Amino acid sequence: GIQVEQSPPDLILQEGANSTLRCNFSDSVNNLQWFHQNPWGQLINLFYIPSGTKQNGRLSATTVATERYSLLYISSSQTTDSGVYFCAVGATNAGKSTFGDGTTLTVKP
Amino acid sequence: EAEVAQSPRYKITEKSQAVAFWCDPISGHATLYWYRQILGQGPELLVQFQDESVVDDSQLPKDRFSAERLKGVDSTLKIQPAELGDSAMYLCASSSVPQGRGEQYFGPGTRLTVT
């Protein structure tokens, strides 16, 4: 099946800093989502982005499907951005999504 | 705003006991997923329904796990007997688009502890 690798595994920032999270995948995809998991375990939808670029406030994402990666940008980070960020991808020839192991972001005040 | 509902939120059970989790997807969503998330890892798909039919249960440990969606709306995931290694977060998601395509929306999850 498709392999999904997220980097870095852990990231520590000071409040106000910018960050880039990466998701690499091993096959062509027709589905890609970014999620933020809050401390209670709920997965919050950030972006549905199988290709192209989207922005939502301080967050933006870009997927370059031909090169098999997606990037999540967080600008002017806040302590509430802390948590685990997951990408989930659906291979074109598969009927399901596969999650990476996540990036744990800690934003210090 | 429509949400995926799950209950219970937390469950503590002894090994060898039976346990069941319930999920109610967003109204109108024909596709329903059950995932298991072990601490420190990403969610892993256990079973996928399209309406009342199972379309993927390749990762479901069928000797002890069962899942049903009798009327194509809400769903129940059961474990019998529970083992210590089943301690995890169980997440339900739904989508209006079938076969893993389209956006998935997750419920709050059920955190299971087996003692």
Residue A39 has pLDDT above 90, yes or no: no
Taking 90 as the threshold, does the pLDDT of residue A95 lie above it?
Answer: no
User: For residues B86 and B20, is the Cβ–Cβ distance under 8 A?
Assistant: no
Q: Which residues pair with A13 in a beta bridge?
A: A107
Q: For B50, what's the count of Cα atoms within 13 Å in the CB-facing half-sphere? A: 9
For residues A95 and B20, give the distance between their C-alpha atoms in angstroms, rounded to a whole number. 26
Between residues 23 and 62 of chain B, which touch chain A (CB distance below 8 Å)? Answer: 33, 37, 40-45, 48, 55-56
Collapsed DSSP state (helix, strand, coil) of residue B56: strand
Question: What tokens appear for B25 in the block?
Answer: 């997807």
The closest of A104, A88, A105, A86 to A29, measured between CA atoms, is A88
Q: Does B85 touch chain A (CB under 8 A)?
A: no
Record the tokens describing residue B73, joined without a space.
Answer: 């709306």
What digits encode the pLDDT tens for the residues B47-106? 999 999 999 999 999 999 999 998 889 999 999 999 999 999 999 999 998 877 789 999
How confident is the model over B7-24, as pLDDT tens digits? 999 999 999 999 999 999
The string of DSSP codes covering A13-58 is EETT--EEEEEEESS-EEEEEEEEE-TTSPEEEEEE-SSEEEEETT
Residues from chain B contacting residue A86 (CB–CB below 8 Å): 42-43
Which residue, among A4, A31, A44, would best test binding to B if mutated, counting the most B CBs under 10 Å from its CB?
A: A31
**Is any Cβ of chain B less than 8 angstroms from the Cβ of A86?**
yes
> Which tokens go with A22?
């990466």
Asked if pLDDT for residue A94 goes beyond 90, the answer is no
| pLDDT tier for residue B110 given thresholds of 50, 70 and 90 | very high
CB atoms closer than 10 angstroms to residue B89: 19
Residue A80 predicted with pLDDT over 80: yes
